Structure formats: structure tokens, C-alpha cells
Structure 1
Amino acid sequence: MIDRRFSAILLLAATALVAPAVAQEAAEALPAWPSQPAAPAGAPNVLVVLTDDTGFAASSTFGGPVPTPTLDRLAQRGLRFNRFHTAAICSASRAALLTGRNPARVGMSGVTNSASSHPAYTTILPKSAATIARILRDNGYNTAMVGKAHITPKWETGPTGPFDRWPTGLGFEYFYGFLDGDTDQFAPQLYLGTEPVEPPVDDPGYILDRDLANRAMTWLRRQHAVQPDKPFFLYYATGTAHSPFQAPREWVERFRGRFDLGWDALRERTLQRQIAMGIVPAGTRLTPRPPEIAAWDSLPAEKKRLYARMMEAYAAAIAYADDQIGRVLDEIERAGELDNTLVLFVEGDNGSSAEGGANGLFNETAGLNEAGEADYPVALANIDRFGGPMTYGHFPTGWAHAMSTPFPYFKRVASHLGATRNAMVLSWPRRAPDVRGEVRSQYHYLTDIVPTILDAAGIAPPQAVDGVSQMTLDGASMLYAIRGASASSTRRMQFYELSGDAAIYADGWLANTRPVTMPWQFTGFKDVPFGERRWELYDLSRDFSQSTDLAARNPAKLAELKALFFREAERNNALPISRSPRGLPAPDINKGRTRFSYPAGVQRIPSAIAPAILNRSFSLVARVEVPTGGGNGMLVTQGGRFGGYGLFVRNGVPRFVYNRLGLQRTMVDWTDTLAPGRHEIRLDFDYDGGGLGQGGTARLSVDGASPVVVRVPATIRLLMPLSETFDVGVDTGTPVSEDYRVPFAFDAKLQDVTVLLR
């Protein structure tokens, strides 16, 4: 016992002598760097392309009248899905694509422009729904978004953010594009990251779709040059073919006369091509034209000529965007990466848009402000300008219906396939070298994009991101479809709802409500409570085009699917359902403010957070100091060529202009040139009241002198142009008046501008 104790003491003593040396040696060892995320071996590059408002039947790849050689090229080395579905409207579809969750579950059933506190319509993507960009970035990918975002709550789109729901806060290391629902191709409102950037005003050939392709190509080139072994994820979301329909003039001219046959004949010819190409099954029926759309043959020659020109502009926009996307593919191929790039090309975030109404529009914003009838004569007078920078055009509903052939209805009508079925091509030559444009008819939806990418990359969905537990994904991978057309679909059910139009798909059957309003009806409609809506029933396994309502013949099946719909509505936080989602209005960072003061140089303030001057009295007060001659330039403006106002100095004379949607411009000129020195220029607008869009009286004065008074007959009813902003000391975007050119920066001293709401 004593010997054992003594031996233990000796051992402890020896250890004590050695330990400092071991510790010193360990301390002197070089510390390892924290490991960086690396993509799984062999993980492919990923390119997701999403076009805008492009119906199932637009592209030549799916039997349509618009040549799309880039999409054709991808299809020749890939698969064409003819039962792929979207969420019927912009923001909802983008949320589904990026998160892999149903739009209602992530608060994005509608668009960011129309948020409410209803849980399905908040437009606030939750932290529990990390995007595919964030997942891939955390797993060793470089990530970029180029183009249209439209996923940021409107009250967060200003210079104070917060920025965690901007693209760069959602996992995209690089973002170049725009935040709102549309923008002017010739004068876009762009951001690089979170900083506003302006397109070159001295480049007469500038157009956004080419700019987006250039930016994407530059990013790809740099990424590959620096880390050629690191995979990339590029989300390329052009704003085409959302209104405005714009393209280079020579592209518009390519389509002259191509649509003189009219929308009815075009639908018939398109269906014939679709059947011949195997895009739709033989025997597919052409659904009837809705009663809200006139027969082409019933139209006068004047309208036929105008409407055909509008369609030519739409076709040119799609064709040109396709051409530019082809340049992006060329860059990937030049780098030797195309074979190992998974390309998912979704042609349209919903069906083609009917928001142009019966006559189409010279100015989309006029339609959004319910001034479409007044817009028609302007459109007719400017027929040869369609597609160019002086128009913000949209086509009539009849073309939207034709672009969704053979299905009923169009964008926003989420109950019907004309709104939700879109063309989709999957191409991955390394994984599927033998496919050559075959058609796949398995049922799929946008939420399947995320699982498909993760499956291809060998990445499991994260259980938590930044410590936040993640929602389960709603989608399923589509890669199994590479094996063959007979493979059973991994998706058996899908829930749809948008502003009261609803549907449920289950195992080949579709139950849906019948629409009671049309997409161009923004106010003044007679709603029908959801519980009183009429339901329809279709067997899509036998009825490809949703043409034969079986509700009366199979009431038991309809009842079964309606019960499933309400269970899914509850699971997706979509209840209660109504035409206008119930809830409090969107947050307003200006709530309660009636006085706003801005120094010179404040610019690119989105309309959602600019002083709200519509349908009320207001004042604009600018304090300036001018040299001899009085100076030149913008003092304060909101809007542009297609609606807005501006207070500026031109050739030394203060001027105010109110531009009512490009339909009517009211000018108020001061009586004299400004003398050298300091001045206060003031515009008081006294609104008549008595409803929306009423007139008022504009009073322009300098230094308190008796004002010049001019009557403004009518004002903008509902909203300013989406693609324009509020600027002080400069004008970005397009000019509110054609008697100056942007940026029209004020060339004297502007101390500040105050906006008073009364």
C-alpha cells in the first residue's frame, strides 16, 4: 500500500514537471483558421430565370407566336414542363420560388404594394423561411440577383430600410435591379445592393434588359475568374413582359403586321401548334372567350389597328428579353460551365396580364387610377410610339387571354389555369445528357424550385438559420422527371388563393371558385362574400385546359375538395378569405406627419414613403439663392412623364406643373425672372374635396407676393407611377414636363424644401 502511494506521488510530480513544457509547445502551435463553407463535391451551378407576366402560350417553345430562341435552345437540351404552376401574381410567385413555401404561409399571398395585417398578406417574409439564396450562400455558393425583386415591404424600401428584407438581406451577395412591381425600360429606378444608381442619361441606346444582361455577365466573369471551382447561384428576373411593353424600335418593327389576324384567330392557331408540338394533348379544347372580351371581328378598324400595335410591342419586349438572356447563357458557356449548370427557366411569374382592360393603355398608371377611358384617345394618337420611351403601354384583355391559350382567364384569377399555369424548362446537360426537349406532364408548382436545387446540390434543408427554427418546405424535387415521362408526380396537392379567387388541386382534380371581378376592376366592384361563391370542378387528368365543369355531375367530389381547401386554408394562415383581405392597413412611417423638410440632394424616395399629397391640400416651399439670370433646375418633384408634379425654375422663372397621368398637364408660371439673391418660392394647392381625383386651385408666389392662380381640373386618384420617386434639387427617372431633360439638377443654391400637408 505504501509503495503504491509512493509511486503515485512520483508520477504526479513527474507530470507536474512535464506539463508546462507540453502546454508551451501547444501554445506555440499555429492556430487553425475557422473553416469556410464549401459546396458539396460536384455541386452544380444554378441559374434560375423568371420572366414577368408572360402567359403559357406566348413563347415559340410552347407553341406561341413570339420567337424565343434562347428558351428553345435550353429546351433542346432539357425538359419542357407543361403542367407547371405559379401563384397568379408577382410577389406571391417570387416568395414561393425563393423560399419553397406556399405564399400564404410566408405572408405574401398578394403583392408588396397592397399589404394588410391579414397574416397571409403582410408581405413580411419571416425569418423562419430562409431563401434558397441564403441556404446556398451558407453552403459555399456565390449568390446574385439581377432584375426585379418585388419582395420587400413597401414601407421598408427607402434609405432608412431596414434592409434585412432587401435582396442583400435575404442571402444575395450581389443585387442589381429594382424593388417595385415594374419599371421603365428606358429610365429604370435601379439599386446596386442598397444604394440607388442611375442609368446613363447620355446613352440614347440604353435599355434595361441589355443592362441587366451586361451586369449578370460581368458578375459571372469576375466570379469565375477569381474562384472557378466555386459554384454560383444566379437568379435572373427580368421585368419583361410586365407593363410597360418596351423594346428597341427595330425589334418592335419586326412584328409589324404579325397580329393583324386578331386574338380569336391567334388562339385557334396557337392551340393547333401546341397540339402538333405535343405541348398539349390531342383533343384539348379551346376554352371560350369570357363575355368581358369583345370578339375581334366585332371591333372597328381603328381599334384593330391600335390593338395589334400594342401586341406588337408586347411581342418585341419578350423577344428582346429572350435575346439578352441568351447572352447570359453564352457567358456561362464561354467559361465552360454550361454543362454543369442547372437551369430552371420559368416563363412568367403568372399568366399574361389583363390589367390593360378592354382598350389597352398608353399609360399603365392611367389604368391603375381608373382613367382608362380617357387614356384611349391618347393611345390612338400615339400609335406609332408604342414600345418606345414615350409610352408606358399595356395591351387589351383579349391579347392576355390569347397569351394564356388554351386556358380560361389570365393573371390574378388564381382560380383558373390562365393565371397559374406557366411554361417551364429544366436543363442540366451533365445530369441529363440524353434529353432533347421532351415534354413532362407531372404536376408541379413554384415551391418545387427550392427542393430541386437542394437535391441537385446535395444539400439538406437547414433546421435552423441564425438560431431561428425553419418552416418545413412545401415543395418537392423535380429531378425524378429526368428519368421519364411516366414517372409518378411527387406533388399530389396544391392550394391557391388570391383576393378571394381560390382553388385546390388534388390527384388530378381541381376545385375552384368562379371569379366575380376582373383584374382591371380596382374599385367600384360588387363583391360576393366568399361563402356565397360558386364553385366549379374539373378533372385535369382528362381535361387539360379546364374546359368542362363537372360540379353538377359529381357533387360528392366537389364537397370533398372544398373540405380539403378549407383545411389547407387554415394550415396556410389564409383564413378568412375575401376580395379585399381583412386587416389593418400597411404600416406608414409618415403617419401623423404633416411637415417634411428636405435639404438639397435628397432623391429616390419611393412613393410609399414620400409625403402623400393625393386627394388633399398641400404646400411646397423652396428656399433658394440665385445668381443673375435666376438659375435653372428642379426644386422638388414626384412622378414623371406618366403622372406627377414638379416645382422648378426654368430660364430664371419659377414654374409648377401638375401632370395628370399624361392626359393633362397644368402649368403655373411666375410673372418674372428671379432677381439675384435669396427667395422663397411657394406653391399652395387647395384641393376641392368631395371624393377622389377631384380638382383644385394652384397658387404660385415668390417672397409672399400676390400669387399667380391657376385651376387644376382634376388630379390623380389613387397612386403615383410605380417607377418614379420623390426628388429634391434634381429629377430622376423621366421628366414630369417635356420642357426640360433629366436630371435637371438645380444649378443655384437650394437651401431646403418643405412640404406641408393640409
Structure 2
Amino acid sequence: MFNRIWKVALAWVVMVALVLQSAVPPALAQEILPHPTQPFSGKVGLTYKTSEPVKTQLKLPSTYGIENAPNVLLVLIDDVGFGQFSSFGGSIPTPTMDRVVKNGLQFTQFHTTALCSPTRAALLTGRNHHSVGNGVITEAGTGFPGYSGVIPDNAATFAQILQAYGYATAWFGKNHNVPDWESSMAGPFDRWPRGLGFDYFYGFVGGDTDQFHPALVENTTRIEPPETNADGSPYHLSTDLADHAISYIRQVNAVSPEKPFFVYLSPGATHAPHQAPQEWIDQFKGQFDMGWDQYRIDTFERQKKLGVIPADAKLTPRPAALAAWDSLSPEEQRVYARMMEVFAGFTAQVDHEVGRVVDAIDQIGELDNTLVIYIAGDNGSSAEGGFNGLLNEMTFFNGLPEKLEDKVAAIDDLGGPMYYNHFPAAWAWAMDSPFQWTKQIASHFGGTRNGMAMSWPASIKDKGSKRFQFSHVIDIAPTILEAIGIDQPIQVNGITQKPIEGTSLVYTFDDAKAPTRHTTQYFEMIANQGIYSDGWMASALWSEPWDSEPPPDKDVLNLDWELYHIDEDFTQAVDLADQMPDKLQEMKDLFYAEAAKYNVLPLDGRKTARLNVANRPSLTAGRTHFAYPRGIRIPEGSSPDLKHVNHTITANVEIPSQGAEGMLVTVGGRFAGYGLFVKDGKLVYHYNLAGVERYNIESDQRIPTGKVTLKADYKTDANQPYAGATVTLYANNKKIGQGRVEKSIPNRVTLDETMDVGFDTGTPVTETYEMPFAFTGKLDEVAIALN
């Protein structure tokens, strides 16, 4: 009797709960994510015979009242100048961008943040980069609110919103938004793509990667790249990313054609290293012999003819620090022209690969209802190649000089797998035509003005037209949401959201002359400051992009501000600061008001000092002993920092009677790093100083067989950058070799290669062995002790 009463009571509880669930106000259901399930409209009795089931609905936009929701393809190319793509006046053919322009709208006053991680965080969230903790790249956060390197939970990405509405979401390519200390297999993974609203991720998590040997990640698992592209051609990352994007789109469409997709394609190109298939590089032979000064002049004229800049625009002058092309020696001109040929090939190739993805969408009949957003650059072109260009970008990050004769010797192989090359800063300035400055410089349009185009044939009818409204990367998220018909949710995953700070660009779709709605926008990057408001721009340059440290005689709060009337001076060519001091003061006051509002303060112009990890979480801080099993791969940000400190590496191994060889432990690879390994029966410690110098220390005798304790003891000359060291090798505590590392890496060993134990991935630290160079004896673990 008691059981029967209990069952009846339980049934009433269930029925009341269902009634209450169905009574949730519709507005609430629209404003909170994830969406509640559809209210149950059947009947629940005590048995199946007295109950009426309801068929569970598929999770699709139409389930929530959104009919014919468009697919979205968002393309973000890396480190592109406004005058680089042919669509915006550059000399490098970019037919895919041309196609998007022809089928839609070309935006000529679109802006980014001047640096990669910040732009990407702003793009995905629709909020200013300091608002979401990305005031600078994740590896350089300072711990202040705007510089934590952590996208907060109250700033959900628009991918999370689309995912909740039933979109298939995938990300292919660069992800520079995982905090450095969260990039290992220990996680946490809530700020990896899978935690930011993407069902699938295939790409790399660092700032850049080797295009021939990328540090690939699939979802959260580090993998090795395939040996060839899908068509059997020699491997290249841009092609591989396109292959995976195409495969994903086709599979989703084949399995669930009514399910719209959102694909975020963010190749590593054209960020350094500038690496491309030889056939693409060869197409541009001799095309840049005129040099960077003439390129700017030619590009400026093409831009006027295309109408992407006004006919009365002025070409801004070359910065004083950059050399005139005619002042260079013939050898310098030959090397630098070749570096630009490589860069052009890299640019043309990645546009081609984007075109393959667009073609694939067309082939399945979905291009008409696909919103394609193609952004040519997360910032301006990069001047990080310095005045003379680089064979190896790691020399830039570590302040190491390169010799011209080495560049001359490498000229025929530039752009290939043996170099991590980058062109000179003056080419970056040329790519940013017609504006002043380059990447990193948020105060001027050379760092922040990027070409952008949108097409959506089903809804954008004014095809092939230009739009001159001021816009910013934070406008993309609200544009996508409005285009689909989704309001910003008040809550996501139970967390109340801060408002989206961008302005939807849908208002421009049908009205070329619509007044700009994004009327005010601050800019700041590494203390370079700017503020736009109602057609005016005030700019304050803190440091030039090739400065390793801020100028000692400058005060970040009292810079020489410039004033430009952008409505009449498209290129920031005429400084009105002296003529209009009151207007300038008004703009400066507005900058500080916006800076206070969006977590920009405190202003911080330090560069190399930001690489100090003391203000960021660490998996290794305070630890002096580490033990790693064979087969582990750890990014540098999560591995012990062994730069210019005393340490001992110990490996307990078992060597068979016939001997063994292979890697015990390595960090980095071909472009900087070190490794301890067994080769030809001897213990070897190899230190690669970014290719500038190499120090090879090997045992003077063969190591014994059986159970052996192998050890390398590193004694630094001083705990300071660039300090040398003495390295002593041991077998069973017997000294078997000693040598010198005369100069050490001061800042960063690698941008995306890992610490590997028992094998080597990516590229080899020395060309004396072949990958993966797995240790052929028994190795349980490698221990590292700081002493």
C-alpha cells in the first residue's frame, strides 16, 4: 500500500515539474544559453499505455524559430598589410579575395588591434581586447586585468552561441588564445577551442609554427603532421588546413544537410616563418627588384584606381629609421628582393587554399546561403624581421645578430624547410601602403587597418560595392549574430555576460551611404595609443616596432600626440596637433576615459620584460625536481625553464649488448633548442643558439651497456641572459666528456615546438640524426634537477 501511494505521489511530482517547465517564459528561453529543451507537450501516466511520448527534436536553428540559417565561413589571414592583397591595391594576385569582393561588399575602413592574440580574442568575443584580458599576446601577460591572457567566462565567444543554436562549429589553423600555462596535456581545456564553442579543432596553439613541420593539435591531442597533403603533394600546412576544412564541410553536409556550419579558417600564413612550396615562390621571380620605395608608389596608384582610397589621399613618408632602397648594396637588394618573392608566394598560395574551401562550399550548393567573411590580416604586416631580414625568426626574439653573408649563401633555399625566414621591416612598411608604421603600432593605421570583404548572395544584393564606414574587429561577432537572427544572450552556461562592445555591420548591407554607427574606438598596444571618434583620430607613438626596449627618455603618460581629421585625411598624413590643441586635448581625454572603461590601464610599454613569467600561473614555479616518462610532449610554457640556470639532466637507461641510440630529451629543434641523446655509441649534448652558433659536446668514450645512469650537468657562468656554461657528461657517475656553451638563449627557445622525452618531434635540434630518433634502449623516465 505504501509503495502504491509513493508511486502516485512521484507521478504527481513529475507532472507538476513538467507543467512548470512548459511555463518558462519564451523570452527567458531566448536569453539564456544553453537553450532549455523543448517543453514536453505529451502526457505522462503511470505506465506506457496511459502515457503519450513526444519525439525528441534535432538540435537545429529551426528548432528555435530560425529558418534558413546561413552557413558562416570566417577567414582570418595572419600579418597582412592593407597594400598586400591585389584586391586592395597590392601586386600579389589574390583571386579568392577578389571573388568575395565581387560577390559581396568590400570594407575599406576595417580595423584590428595591431597584434595577433588580442585581435583574435576580440574577433571571437565581440569585445575589446583588454575587456577580455588580451591586451597583449598570451605569452606576455602582466597579471593586470586587461593583460591576464585569459578570456573570461562572462565574455562567451559567438561560436558558443552558434553551437547552442545547433550549428556545427569547427576551427582550422592558428589558435593563439590558449594561456601559455594551460597549453599542456594537463589542461585545463576550457579555453582551448573545444571549450570556446568549437566541436572540432585542427591546427596549432602557438603564435606561429613551421609550415612544413607544424606542431599540430587535433582537438586537445598533439599529433604529427601527415607526410603529404591529401592529393599526395609535398606537405604544407596551408594546404593541410584547407583539406581538413573541406572534409569537415562535406561530411557535415552529407550527414545532416539541414545543419548549418560555422567554419573558422585561420592559417599560419602570412606570419613568419615565410615558407611556401617552391613553385609558388618561383612565380614572383624578379617582380620586386624595384624595391620597397617604388612598391609603395605603385601600390598607392593602384589603390586610387580601385577606389579603395580616395583620389585626394596622400602617401605617407618612409620612417627615418628605414633605409631607402637605393642606399642598399647590390647584395642586400638581391637578398631582400628574394625574401619578398618568398613572401609573395606565401601570400598567393594561402589565398589559393582559401579558394579551395570556397569552391567546396559552392560544389555542395551552399555558397548562396553562406556568409563569407574574409579578413586580410589580424594586424598590419610584420616588421619583426628587423632592418635586415632574418634567416631565423628566433634570432629576433632572442636579440641575436645574423650575418649578411649567411643570407647570401641561403638565397636559393629561402622559403624552404631549412629556414624560418622573415623579410626586412621596410617590406612590411611597403605592404602597409599607404599608411604609417606596421604591426604592433596601434596608434597608426599601418598597424590596424586591414582589408576585409563579406559575401552572402542570398541576402547581400549590392554586390561588388565598397563600404567606407569605420569598423573594427569587435563588429564581426554582432554582425554574424544579427545576420542569423540571434540576440546576444544574457547568460551563457549560467554566467551573466558582459555586453558585446562591437556594432553589427548588417546596417551597411543595403545602404552604402549609411552613417557610421561605430563612432568611437580606442587603440592601444604596448603603450602605443590611439583614439578614433566621429571622423577624428589622435595618435601617440611610444616605441617603434624594431625597438627591443622602450625609449628611456619617454614618459608613457606624456607622449607627443598627433591629430588627424580622418574624414578628410584618409591616410593620417597631415598632423593638425599644433593647429588644434583644444581638439587634441578633447581626444586625449576621451582616450583615457575609454582606457579606464575597458581595462587598458595601467599602460605598460615594456617589451622583453613582459616575457618574465613571475606574474602568470606556472606549472613549474617553486619546483626544483621534475621526472618525465618516455613519450611525453610538453610545450615550453609548461616545461622547466632551464635558460642560464644550473641544472642536471639524468636518464636511467638500459643499453642492450649491441648498443642503442636515440633522443633522451630535447626542447625546440632546428631553429633553436638543445638535446641530450645517444649517437654512434656516445652521449651527446647539442645546443643550438638559433642557428647563429652551435655547441656540440660528446663523450670521449662509448657509453657502457646494461643498466646505465646517463647525466648532463649544466653549470652556468652567471644567472643572466646570454650567459655561457660548462656542460659535463657522465655515465654511472664517471665523467666521460666536457665542453662549453659559450652563449645561451635569453628569452624563448621555441614558439611552438615541444619538450620531448625518448624521441623527437617537429624538427631535429641538429642535422646529424633523422626524425623521430626514438631511443632504441630502455628508458623509463628523464629527471631534471635545478641546482
- Pick from 425, 430, 433: which aligns with 1:402? 430
Give the match for residue 248 of structure 2: 219
Give the match for residue 443 of structure 1: 470
Deviation readout 1:615-636 (Å, 9 max, x if unpaired): 2121111111112332121110
Q: Distance in 2 between matches of 1:461 and 1:155?
A: 31
Q: Distance in 2 between matches of 1:580 and 1:118?
A: 14
Q: Which amino acid aligns with 2:639?
A: A
Q: For 1:31-180, what aligned pairs fall within 5 Å after superposition?
A: 31-32=53-54, 35-39=57-61, 40-180=66-206
Q: Distance in 2 between matches of 1:533 and 1:453?
A: 38
Q: Which moved more, 1:155-164 or 1:22-31?
A: 22-31
Give the match for residue 558 of structure 2: 532
Q: CA deviation at 1:314?
A: 1.0
Q: Which moved more, 1:480-489 or 1:441-450?
A: 480-489
Q: Which amino acid aligns with 2:619?
A: I
3-state secondary structure, aligned to 1:576: coil
Deviation readout 1:669-717 (Å, 9 max, x if unpaired): 2223333311111111111116311211111121122231112111111
Give the match for residue 381 of structure 1: 409
Q: Distance in 2 between matches of 1:628 and 1:25?
A: 73
Q: Distance in 2 between matches of 1:486 and 1:22?
A: 58
Q: Distance in 2 between matches of 1:285 and 1:413?
A: 20
3-state secondary structure, aligned to 2:703: coil
The 1:259–1:321 alpha-carbon spacing in structure 2 relative to 1, beyond 3 Å, is: same
Aligned pair 1:688/2:717, yes or no? yes
- Pick from 285, 308, 314: which aligns with 1:279? 308
Q: CA deviation at 1:490?
A: 1.7
TM-score after normalising by structure 1: 0.95
- Pick from 493, 509, 520: which aligns with 1:466? 493
Give the match for residue 610 of structure 1: 639
Q: For 1:356-505, what aligned pairs fall within 5 Å after superposition?
A: 356-371=385-400, 373-436=401-464, 438-505=465-532
Q: For 1:603-752, what aligned pairs fall within 5 Å after superposition?
A: 603=633, 605-689=634-718, 691-752=720-781
Q: CA deviation at 1:219?
A: 0.6
Q: Which amino acid aligns with 1:429?
A: P
3-state secondary structure, aligned to 2:688: strand
Q: Which amino acid aligns with 1:548?
A: V
Give the match for residue 629 of structure 2: 599
Q: CA deviation at 1:316?
A: 0.9
Q: CA deviation at 1:309?
A: 1.0
Q: CA deviation at 1:24?
A: 4.1
Q: Which moved more, 1:692-701 or 1:53-62?
A: 692-701
Q: Distance in 1 between matches of 2:550 and 2:699?
A: 40
3-state secondary structure, aligned to 1:636: strand
CA contact (8 A) 2:45 2:51 kept: no
Gaps of 5+ in 2: 1-14, 16-42
CA contact (8 A) 1:641 1:734 kept: yes
Give the match for residue 596 of structure 2: 570
Q: For 1:1-12, what aligned pairs fall within 5 Å after superposition?
A: none
Deviation readout 1:141-193 (Å, 9 max, x if unpaired): 11000000101111000111100000100000010001110000000001110
Deviation readout 1:35-62 (Å, 9 max, x if unpaired): 5542110110001000000111100011
RMSD: 1.9
Q: CA deviation at 1:78?
A: 1.1
Q: Which amino acid aligns with 1:408?
A: Q
CA contact (8 A) 1:106 1:125 kept: yes
Deviation readout 1:585-644 (Å, 9 max, x if unpaired): 2111211111111111112x1101111010212111111111233212111000100111
Q: Distance in 2 between matches of 1:656 and 1:442?
A: 58
Aligned pair 1:559/2:557, yes or no? no
CA contact (8 A) 1:150 1:180 kept: yes
Aligned pair 1:248/2:274, yes or no? no
Q: Which amino acid aligns with 1:587?
A: P
CA contact (8 A) 1:366 1:375 kept: no
Give the match for residue 10 of structure 1: none
The 1:711–1:214 alpha-carbon spacing in structure 2 relative to 1, beyond 3 Å, is: same
CA contact (8 A) 2:441 2:541 kept: no
Q: For 1:5-20, what aligned pairs fall within 5 Å after superposition?
A: none
CA contact (8 A) 2:628 2:782 kept: yes
3-state secondary structure, aligned to 1:354: coil
Q: CA deviation at 1:27?
A: 7.2
CA contact (8 A) 2:114 2:525 kept: yes
Deviation readout 1:77-113 (Å, 9 max, x if unpaired): 1111110000100010001110000111111111011
CA contact (8 A) 1:148 1:238 kept: yes
Give the match for residue 261 of structure 1: 290
Q: Which moved more, 1:50-59 or 1:470-479?
A: 470-479
CA contact (8 A) 1:529 1:578 kept: no
Q: Distance in 2 between matches of 1:348 and 1:240?
A: 10
Q: CA deviation at 1:514?
A: 2.4
Q: CA deviation at 1:34?
A: 5.6
The 1:384–1:748 alpha-carbon spacing in structure 2 relative to 1, beyond 3 Å, is: same
Q: Distance in 2 between matches of 1:70 and 1:375?
A: 38
- Pick from 587, 611, 621: which aligns with 2:617? 587
Aligned pair 1:29/2:51, yes or no? yes
Q: For 1:185-196, what aligned pairs fall within 5 Å after superposition?
A: 185-196=211-222
Q: Distance in 2 between matches of 1:441 and 1:125?
A: 31
Q: CA deviation at 1:375?
A: 5.0
Q: Which amino acid aligns with 1:300?
A: S
Q: Distance in 2 between matches of 1:481 and 1:592?
A: 54
Aligned pair 1:755/2:784, yes or no? yes
CA contact (8 A) 2:461 2:510 kept: no
Q: CA deviation at 1:728?
A: 0.1
Q: CA deviation at 1:408?
A: 0.1
TM-score after normalising by structure 2: 0.91
Q: CA deviation at 1:140?
A: 1.4
Q: CA deviation at 1:379?
A: 2.4
The 1:26–1:598 alpha-carbon spacing in structure 2 relative to 1, beyond 3 Å, is: closer
CA contact (8 A) 2:701 2:736 kept: no
Q: Which amino acid aligns with 1:122?
A: S
Q: Which amino acid aligns with 2:748?
A: L
Q: Distance in 2 between matches of 1:70 and 1:347?
A: 11
3-state secondary structure, aligned to 1:746: coil
3-state secondary structure, aligned to 1:52: coil
The 1:138–1:375 alpha-carbon spacing in structure 2 relative to 1, beyond 3 Å, is: farther
Q: Distance in 2 between matches of 1:80 and 1:487?
A: 15
3-state secondary structure, aligned to 1:106: coil
3-state secondary structure, aligned to 1:105: coil
